Amino acid sequence: MLRKIRILCAFLCFALITLLFLDFTGSIHAWFGWLAKIQFLPALLALNAGVVIALILLTLILGRVYCSVICPLGVFQDIISWIAGKRKKNRFSYSPALTWLRYGVLTVFIIALLAGIGTVVALLAPYSAYGRMASNLLAPLYQWGNNLLAYWAERANSYAFYSVDVWMKSIATFGVAVGTFIILAILAWRNGRTYCNTICPVGTVLGFISRFSYLKPIIDTEKCNSCGLCARNCKASCINSKEHTIDYSRCVACMDCIGKCHKGAIAYAHLHKAATPEKKEEVSQARRNFLTITSLFATTTFLKAQEKKVDGGLAVIEDKKIPNRANPITPAGSQSIRNFTQHCTACQLCVSVCPNQVLRPSSSLDRLMQPEMSYERGYCRPECTKCSEVCPAGAIRPITTADKSSTQIGHAVFIPENCVVNRDGVECGNCARHCPAGAIQMLPSIADDPNSPKLPVVNTERCIGCGACENLCPARPFSAIYVEGHQNHRTV
């Protein structure tokens, strides 16, 4: 019964969180956006004390149900492990905890977090790992499915579905997502929850707390006949059936063992006697897993860039190239690049919901996989605040459209050599026409001659850095006007 409740809750959480990453219309977020915000690490980074305390209390009462129900990466591993279990029954066995590895990784993680090394944080954080798999591997499939529906809808003259662009946002992040998927799939296939109990920093923290949880599975030694069935079905490998002990730091309260025991010797209850024998752990074959991880991390997948199609009777449109920005641009609501990089767990949620193809994971080493903005495919539209609505980690704080329209995240820089007015000798002014802040004016290039070609002049005090000018600039591949990010955002 307990197991069934756990599976039902886990399934719901997992499905809805996955949908958060897939749904590009924003309707799921309105109802279930909180599921991302109750994830442990994002809540911690957002300094969301309420959620963190609630999760600690939950663990103190029920054990690591967080890992079994709320964490999408945990449930993902359970699914893989369940499939593997279909092929081979009773495949697990007890193994001692790799405490040195667990605490070592946790230490590294905390140091990285404090030092602001986002890459390490993003690689290790469970929710981020799941997010990048969902947004890099699953979302394209979902979008292609949607595009197929849109194709049919178009033929049925319906406007219910519209097609979306599926594009490679960052090869590096895609590669990491593939790597994460392969490693986790192999670990889960072979040994269930190895990742959660050796690498995952959240698992280590919650594991520490869950030792003291009020309710936990207890083996009744009087009923137990030491058949070892529970241990062979424990995906956390934490039941030592010979000694009738359970390592509660690794038990994720999945309740599988309770149902498996023929003798009814395991119960989910409060342990009355304080006699919990402390165990010394030996280093064992689990080290191999760690080595597998590091070697597999090196694999990256390169995808061929999609070939561009050219329509007939239409001029060829060259793809825009990313200008060399001295500072990255971060979304309005992130307050400053520092605040952003410190809080961001690189979960890719904002990247998946950005409807204007502005946000994409960074490829630069110091901010690997953390999102940044660029305007080759679209610009940060004034009516949209989606990223700020979904961010669970407080990296992008909620912002209204009104506040956004007066928040300066960068400023536009004009490059006269690229401008079509100079290059093609035509009239333009598309940047000025589309500037939502009215920061660009077209002025004669020769001050005394009102008939001389007009070039844009940027009032950097009014510019908010939305990128409308850069995106809609006809100059290709490099725009004649581009946005330079600001270290600190401010109100204009």
Partner 1 sequence: MNKKEINRRKFLKILGASAATTTAALYGCKSENNTAVAGSTPGEVPTDQMTYRINPKTGDKVSLLGYGCMRLPTISHSSARDSNDDIDQEMVNKLTDYALAHGVNYFDTSPAYCKGRSEHAMGIALSRHPRNSYFIATKLSNFSPDTWSRKASIAMYHNSFKELQVDYIDYLLLHGIGMGGMEALKGRYLDNGVLDFLIEERKAGRIRNLGFSYHGDIKAFDYLLSRHEEIKWDFVQIQLNYVDWKHAKEVNSRNTDAEYLYGELNKRNIPAVIMEPLLGGRLSNVPTHIVGRLKQRRPTDSVASWAFRFAGSPEKVLTVLSGMTYMEHLQDNLRTYSPLLPLNDDDKAFLEETAQLMLKYPTVPCNDCKYCMPCPYGIDIPSILIHYNKCVNEGNVPKNSQEENYRKARQAFLVGYDRSVPRLRQANHCIGCNQCVHHCPQNINIPKQLQRIDQFVEHLKQGTL
Task: Give the x-and-dash track for 133-162 against partner 1 (CB under 8 A).
Answer: ---------------------x----x--x
Question: According to CB under 8 A, which one of 322, 426, 446, 457 is a site residue for partner 1?
Answer: 426
Per-residue interface string for the shown chain with partner 1, residues 301-330, x marking contact by CB under 8 A: ----------xxxxxxx-------------
Which C-beta is closer to partner 1: that of 366 or that of 427? 427
Ramachandran sector of residue 435 (left: φ over 0; alpha: ψ -120 to 50; beta: rest): beta
Q: What residues contact 120, with CB distance under 8 A and at least 6 apart? A: 108, 109, 112
Q: Report how many residues bind partner 1 under the rule CB under 8 A.
A: 26
State the Cα angle at 382 between 28 and 334, rounded to 5°.
75
Question: According to the binding rule CB under 8 A, does residue 474 interact with partner 1?
Answer: yes
**In the complex, minimum distance from the CB of residue 140 to partner 1, in angstroms, rounded to a whole number:** 19
First to last CA, the chain: 58
Instruction: Give SS3 for 140.
Output: helix
DSSP 8-state symbol, 159:
-
CA distances from 453 to 104, 419, 471, 478, 482 (A): 64, 11, 22, 21, 20
With binding defined as CB under 8 A, does residue 406 bind partner 1? no
Residue 163 in contact with partner 1, rule: CB under 8 A:
yes
Write down the least CB distance from residue 474 to partner 1, Å.
5
Tell me, what DSSP letter sits at residue 314?
S
Instruction: Give the residue with the Cβ less far from partner 1, 278 or 311.
Output: 311
Q: How many residues does the chain have?
A: 492
433 binds partner 1 (CB under 8 A): yes
Binding-site member from 108, 171, 472, 492 for partner 1 (CB under 8 A): 472
Q: How far apart are CB 143 and partner 1 at their closest, in Å?
A: 14
Count other Cβ atoms within 10 Å, centred on residue 298: 8
To partner 1, the closest distance from the beta carbon of 165 in angstroms equals 8
Closest contact distance (angstroms) between CB of 150 and partner 1 is: 8
198 binds partner 1 (CB under 8 A): no
Closest CA to 118 of 369, 306, 322: 369
Triad 26, 29, 35: Cα angle to 5°: 155
Interface residue with partner 1, options 266, 358, 428, 480 (CB under 8 A): 428
> Reduced to 3 states, what is the DSSP secondary structure of residue 232?
helix
Sort 356 into a burial class: Cβ within 10 Å, 0-12 / 13-18 / 19+: middle
What is the footprint of partner 1 within residues 365-384 (CB under 8 A)? 378, 381-383
Least CB distance to partner 1 at residue 420 (A):
7
Stretch that binds partner 1, among 211-219, 336-344, 419-427, 482-490 (CB under 8 A): 419-427
With H, G, I as helix, E, B as strand and everything else as coil, classify residue 2. helix
Q: Where does this chain bind partner 1 (CB under 8 A)?
A: 154, 159, 162-163, 311-317, 378, 381-383, 420, 424, 426-430, 433-434, 472, 474
